[in-house]
Structure 1
Amino acid sequence: MTVLAVSAEGPAAWENWRKAFSEVAPDLTIVSWFDPAFDPEKADYALVWDPAPGEMAKMRGMRAILCSGAGVNQLVHREDFPRDVMLVRMGGEQTAALMGDYVLWAIISLMRDARTWAMQQEQKVWRRNLEYNSCMDRQIGILGFGNLGAAIARRLVKAGFSVAAWCRRPRQDEDIRLFCGEEAKAEFLEETDILVNLLPSTPQTRDIINADLLSCLKPGAQLINVGRGDHVVEADLLAALESWQIAGAVLDVFREEPLPKQSAFWTHPRVIVTPHVAAEAACKIQAAYIANAIQEIEAGKTPELTYRPEWGY
C-alpha cells in the first residue's frame, strides 16, 4: 500500500484533494497531513506547498516530496528541508496550456493597451485610443527556456509571433532562435519588444530584472513576469515605467503576496496586476500528475521535473 500525505493548501483544501485523487488514482491511499491520528512515519510521499515551520523535518524518511506548484524555492531554502529526499515540481500539459493562454492574453493586452480601455470603462469614457500593433510588429523574448519556456515559445510562434529565447546553458532548438549564456544576453535584450520572464528562482536569477537589464531593452519595451516575484527589483521597474523605458507591464508574481495594498503597481496606469493565477491547473489535473509521478518513482524512474540542486530548480 502506497500512502500519500496531503498538506498542500492547508486543511481547507483536503476535501478537494480527496475527491480528485479518488477519481484519478483510486488505488493510491491518501491521508490528510492535518488528521490528528496521522503518523508521518507511515507515509511514503507528501504533497506540499509551503508547510508550517518544522514540518518538513518529519518527511525525512519519505521516498519523495511532491510540490503543488511549479516553483520550489519556498521549500529548498528552509532549514527543515530534507535534502536527501527527492523533490518533484508540478507540471503537466494543462499547466503549460494555461501558461500559454495567459502569456498570449498578456501580450495582446499590452499590444492593444487594454489597461487604458479598462480604466476608461470604469470612468464611462468613450475614447478610441487605437493601437495598431500586431503579432507582425513585435519581437517576443522569452527569458528562460525550460519546459514551460519552450512550450510557450512554440505556442507564440504558432500564433504568428517572432520569438527568441535566452537560456543559461548552451543548447539548440530547431524552431526557436536561442541566445545562450551571459555573453549573449545583451544582444537578446536589444532585439526584444516584449520580454516574458519564465526563469526559476535561483541565487543567480534573483533581482535579474533590474535597472541594468531594463536599460538594455528597446526604449518603450514591455514586460510580462510569470516567473518569480524575487526576479524583479520593484523600484527599478517603477523607475523604468516613469521614464518610459518600459511602456507597460503585466505582473502575476510579486516579492510579497498578497501584493500589499500600498504597492504602486495596483494603481499604475500602465500595469496590469493578476493574483498569481497564470498557470494553476485544476485540482483533478494536478492529482493526476502527482499520481503519475508516484508511479514513475515506484517503477524506479526519476520524474522529469525532479528538483536538481546543481541547477537551483
Structure 2
Amino acid sequence: MTKVVLMSGDEDISDLVQPILRAAPELDVVMHGEQSASDAEIAVCWNPPVGALASLPKLRLVHSIAAGVDGILSDCAFPSVPLCRVVDPQLARGMSEFVTWGVLHYHRQLDRVLANQPIERWFRHEQGDSSECAVGIMGLGEIGSRVAMDLQRFGFAVRGWARKPRELSGVTTFAGPQEFRHFIQGTDILVCLLPLTHETRWILNATTFEYLRPGAKLIHVGRGEHLVPADLIAALTSGKIGGAIVDVFPNEPLPPKDHMWRAPNLIVTPHMASVASWDTIGTQVAANARRLIRGEPLQNVVDVTLCY
C-alpha cells in the first residue's frame, strides 16, 4: 500500500485526508509527525517544515495543495523528485471575480465614497469610462490571462506583462525586464499575479511604485514575497499610491499590531482571493498518486528551475 503523508508548517490540512481516500481508497494517508510517516512515498504539502521532505528516504513525489510552490521550493534541501501542483479552472474564475471587484472598487471610486460615510458627507464623484482606466496585469499565465480577458470584456484598457512575449486579443502586452518600466508607467491600477521566482521576489518595491502614475492603485494577489511592505506603506503614506488591496503577505497570518493593519487607504484581506476545494485537491493528488504507481506521466508537473 502506497503511503501518503500530509505536511504543513503553518496550517491544518488534515481535512484533506478523506477527499484523497474517497478518490483513491487504496492509499494509506497519514499526517506528518505520525510514527509511520517516515515510510511515505508521496508528500502532500503546504509550506512544509524545512528539511521535512529530505527526511523521507522512500519519497518519490511531492505534491503542492495549491497552484503556488514557492513555500516548498524555498527549502534548500528539496529532494530530487518530481513536484506537482493543483491546477483548478475554478481558481482562475475565483481570482477573476476578486480582481474584478477590486478594479471596480477603485474605478467607480467606491473607496472615496466609503471614506465619506463616517463623516456624513454626500458627494458624487465624477465617473469615468472604463476605456480610460488602464489596468496592468503582472503575470500572464493561466490565471493572469483569464483575469486580463475578463477585464477587457468590461471595456478596461488592459495591459499585461510577462517573462516571455504573449499575445492576447485586445490586450497590450509587454515582456521581459527591458519593457517592465514602460508597462508600469502606463498603468492606473496594477494587479500582481506573478509566480514567485528569483527574478520576481520583492518586485513590488519603491522603484516599481515610483514608476506608477501618481495616485495609482495596487491589487496584490500574487505571492507574499513579491511585496516589500515598508515600501508600500511609504507609498500609501506619501500618496504616490492612492490605495491598495493586499491579499497575500510575506508572513501569514498577518501578525497583530503589524503596520500593514493601519496603513492609510489599504484593504487587508486574509489570503482569500481564490482557494481550491479540498475535494478538488484530493482528486488531483489521488490521480497523480495512481499515475506514479502505474508509471504513467504525471499531471501539472512543475519546472523547478522556473518555480512554476
TM-score normalized with structure 2 length? 0.88
What secondary structure is seen at the aligned counterpart in 2 of 1:262? coil
Q: What stretches of structure 2 of length at least 5 have no aligned partner? A: none
Q: What stretches of structure 1 of length at least 5 have no aligned partner? A: none
What secondary structure is seen at the aligned counterpart in 2 of 1:183? helix
Instruction: Show the counterpart of 1:265.
Output: 260
Tell me if 1:20 matches 2:15: no
Residue 112 of structure 1 and its aligned partner are, at CA, apart by 3.3
**21 and 159 in structure 1: CA distance in 2 versus 1, 3 angstrom threshold:** farther
Q: Structure 1 counterpart of 2:243, which letter?
A: G
Residue 132 of structure 1 and its aligned partner are, at CA, apart by 1.7
- Distance of 2:207 and 2:265 partners within structure 1: 21
**21 and 299 in structure 1: CA distance in 2 versus 1, 3 angstrom threshold:** same
- Distance of 1:281 and 1:134 partners within structure 2: 34
Q: Deviations over 1:243-297 (max 9, x none)?
A: 3221110001112222232333213341110011112122112212323343454
Q: Deviations over 1:172-197 (max 9, x none)?
A: 34453320111111221122111100
Q: Deviations over 1:37-94 (max 9, x none)?
A: 52432x3311111223432113353221011132222221224321x11111222112
**150 and 302 in structure 1: CA distance in 2 versus 1, 3 angstrom threshold:** farther
Q: Structure 1 counterpart of 2:48, which letter?
A: P
Kept in 2: contact 1:17–1:287 (CA 8 A): yes
Q: Structure 2 counterpart of 1:76, which letter?
A: L
What secondary structure is seen at the aligned counterpart in 1 of 2:261? coil
What secondary structure is seen at the aligned counterpart in 1 of 2:96? helix
Pick from 86, 89, 103 the counterpart of residue 90 of structure 1. 86
Residue 142 of structure 1 and its aligned partner are, at CA, apart by 0.6
Q: Note the aligned Cα RMSD (angstroms).
A: 2.6
Tell me if 1:49 matches 2:46: yes
**26 and 131 in structure 1: CA distance in 2 versus 1, 3 angstrom threshold:** farther
**61 and 213 in structure 1: CA distance in 2 versus 1, 3 angstrom threshold:** same
What secondary structure is seen at the aligned counterpart in 2 of 1:253? coil
Kept in 1: contact 2:204–2:227 (CA 8 A): yes
- Distance of 1:35 and 1:204 partners within structure 2: 35
Instruction: Show the counterpart of 1:153.
Output: 148
What secondary structure is seen at the aligned counterpart in 2 of 1:266? helix
What secondary structure is seen at the aligned counterpart in 1 of 2:174? strand
TM-score normalized with structure 1 length? 0.87
- Distance of 2:110 and 2:257 partners within structure 1: 23
The alignment covers a number of residue pairs equal to 307
- Distance of 2:235 and 2:173 partners within structure 1: 26
Tell me if 1:235 matches 2:230: yes
- Distance of 1:269 and 1:148 partners within structure 2: 29
Pick from 45, 52, 60 the counterpart of residue 63 of structure 1. 60
- Distance of 1:153 and 1:74 partners within structure 2: 26
Instruction: Show the counterpart of 1:33.
Output: 31
What secondary structure is seen at the aligned counterpart in 2 of 1:265? helix
Kept in 1: contact 2:6–2:13 (CA 8 A): no
Instruction: Show the counterpart of 1:197.
Output: 192
Kept in 2: contact 1:7–1:32 (CA 8 A): no
- Distance of 1:105 and 1:269 partners within structure 2: 20
- Distance of 1:276 and 1:11 partners within structure 2: 13
Tell me if 1:101 matches 2:69: no
